A and B are shown apart, each in its own frame.
Chain A
Amino acid sequence: MKRFVLAALAAVALAAGAGCGEDTSGPAEGGPTPFTPNTDGLFPFPDTPDNLLTLEGVALGRELFHDPILSGDSTQSCATCHLQTAAFADPRQFSLGIDGSPGTRNAPVLVNLPWSPDFFWAGRAGTLEDQAREPVPNPIEMNLPWDDAIPRLRAHASYPGMFAAAFRTEKITQDLVVMAIAQFERTLLSQDAKWDRVMRGEATFTAEERRGLALFESERAECFHCHGTKLFTDHRFHDNGLDAMPADIGREAVTNFPYDRGKFRTPSLRNVEVSAPYMHDGRFATLEEVIDHYSTGIQDSPNLDPLLRVIRPGAAFTAPEKADLLAFLRTLTDPVFLSNPDFGPPE
C-alpha cells in the first residue's frame, strides 16, 4: 500500500505542477488510477460505483482528513477528533469543537467502514460521503460553512491540482471534497490483529485468550450475536440496557419509531483496547467497566434487545472470567492499523 501511495503522491505532484499557471479547468491528463484495497482478511471490497477508489482520490482525501483548513479558525481537522492511535476514535468522552463546545456523543472508531450500511451512532447518514458533510459546518465541531470552505480550497496552492488529478477537474465542490474524504476512509482497514493471525494459522491463542473467546461466543454472554463476523459488528441497532429509561433516544430520532428508542449501532470491537471511552456517550472509561455492565449491569429498558433480555442482569462473570474476556478482546488490537503511515498526516 505504501508504494502505491507514494506513486499517487508523485502523480499528484506532477499534475499539480502541470496545473500551475495554465488553464486547468478541464480534466487532468492521464486520469486517476483506480485501485481496490486488499481485503483478503475480511470480505470482498464492496463496489462504490458512485465514488470509485483511485490512488489520487485517496491521497487527496488523506490530505483533507488531516488538514485544519476545513475548520473555521483553521485549528481542527477530522484527525483532531479521530486519532489513529485510538483507532480513529477520540480519547475524550466528548470531542470539543473549535469554540470549545462539547459534542453529545463519543466520536466512534473509523475502522473497516466499507461494509457499514450507515454512519453515526444512530445511523442518520446513509453513506460515508453524507457523513463527511456534517462535521465541517457544525457549529459545535469545525464550524466552517461549506460556502466558506470551498473558496479556501480553491485558493489553495495545491488543492486545485490535487482535485484535478483525482476528479479530472479543478472546480472544487462540496461533493468532491466529501468523496475524497470517503475514499480515504474506505482504506482504513484493520485485518492484522492477533485474532487475524490466529485465524490464518500464523499464531495461537494463549489459554486465557482461548477461554475468553469461548465466553465471547457463548449464549451465556451473547457477545458474538451483535459483535460477530470478522468485522466484530453486525452494523445493526440495539438497546443494550445501559439505562432503564434512555435519555438519548438514539435511533428513534432517525426512524421516528418508538421501538427504536434507546438503540444505537453496534460498534466494531476491533482495536477496542485502545478506543476508550466506550458506548455512545463514552460513559465507560475502561473495558473493565464495559465487562461489568454485561456481567451484572444490564437494565430493563423498554426496548432492551431480546438477546440481552434473556440474560439480564448479565452473564455473572467471575473475576477470572472477566480477565479471560479482557485477554481475548486485546487480541483484536491491530498494531499495523494503529501505526500505518499511509493513514497518518501526509509528509
Chain B
Amino acid sequence: MKMTPVALLLAAALTAGGCGDDESTAPTGPGTVVIQFDEVAGSDALVLNTGQYTNAVGNEYSVSKLEYVVSAFSFPAAVARLRADGDFTSTALHYRTMEDAATASLTFADVPSGSYTGMGFTFGIDGADNATGTHPDLDLDGMAWPAMMGGGYHYMRHEGNFTDSTMATSAFTTHLGPSMGNDYSFEVSLAHDFTVSPGETTTLTVRMDVNEWYVNPNMYDFNDHGPIMGDPAAQTTLQANGASVFSVAP
C-alpha cells in the first residue's frame, strides 16, 4: 500500500515514540530494598567490648551492648515520578542487636519500582503500638519495659563502661523507651535519592552514630546520670538528641 505523507509522518512519530525513554513502555514490577544497619562512634566503626571511644562531652567509653528497635519504614516516592502506588510504607518492626550479625539487615521485598527521595522510620515504637505483650518476639529478645515503669518495649539499650571524673571505671546504661507511660519514640526522615528497579536489589546503609546521642543539641555527661528508665527528663533530652543520630551512609 502506498503511504501518504501524513501516514508517513504518523508512522515516524509512532516509531520514534517506541524507542528511548518513554515511561509508558518502561519495565515494571517490584524490586527489593535491603537496609543495612551500621553503627559508628564519630569517625570510628563501633566494635563491642574492645573499642575505645571519646565523645564531644569528653566521656571516654567502651560499649558492651547496643541494641535498638526501629519500625514503620517508608520510602517517599519522587514527586516527579508518575506512579499510581505512591509512597512505599511498611509496618514492619526490626530489632537490631550488635551481638547478632543476622540482625544487621532488613529486607523489603515487593517495593514498587521507581525513584524515591529518601526514607523515614520510627525510632522505637509509636506509643499507640507499644503495649506490653503486643510484640512477642521483642519479649523473647529481652526488650520488654517493666509495667511499673509504663510497660511496652525498650527502644534502645546502650551499655558500657566509661572513665568517670575520678578516673575510676564506671558504667552507663542508656535505656530509652516509654518511660512512665510517655511516648519518647520519634520519626527519622532521611533524604537520599535512590531507584528501585524491577527484579533488582537496592541496598541502603542506615548509620547510627552513638556519639550523637550525647551531644547534639544537649550535652549529656555519663557522670551526671545513672539508670534513666524512670527519668522522663533524661528521656526527653535524649529524644531531642536523636534527631542527628541517623544518616544514610554513602
Contact = CB atoms under 8 A, between A and B. Distances in A.
B142 interface: yes
A281 to B, nearest CB: 23
Contacts of B64: 259, 305-306
A219 B229 contact: yes
Interface residues of B, number: 26
B193 interface: no
Interface of A: 43-44, 115, 214, 217-219, 222, 224-225, 228-231, 234, 236, 257, 259, 304-307, 309-311
Helix, strand, loop or mixed for chain B's interface? Answer: mixed
Contacts of A259: 49-50, 64
Contacts of A311: 227
Contacts of A257: 49
B172 interface: yes
Contacts of A306: 64-65, 159-161, 171-173
A14 to B, nearest CB: 39
Helix, strand, loop or mixed for chain A's interface? Answer: loop
Interface string B125-158: 0000000000010011010101111000000000
B148 A115 contact: no
A230 B133 CA distance: 11
A43 B139 contact: yes
B230 A219 contact: yes
B18 interface: no
B58 interface: no
Interface string B44-59: 0000011000000000
B166 to A, nearest CB: 13
B148 A217 contact: yes
Interface of B: 49-50, 64-65, 99, 136, 139-140, 142, 144, 146-149, 159-161, 169-173, 226-227, 229-230
Nearest to B62: A259
A234 B142 contact: yes
A306 B172 CA distance: 7
Contacts of B50: 259
A329 B16 CA distance: 80
A214 B147 CA distance: 9
Given A306-B64, A309-B170, A310-B173, A230 B148 contact: no
Q: Which of A218, A219, A306 has the most CB of B within 10 A?
A: A306
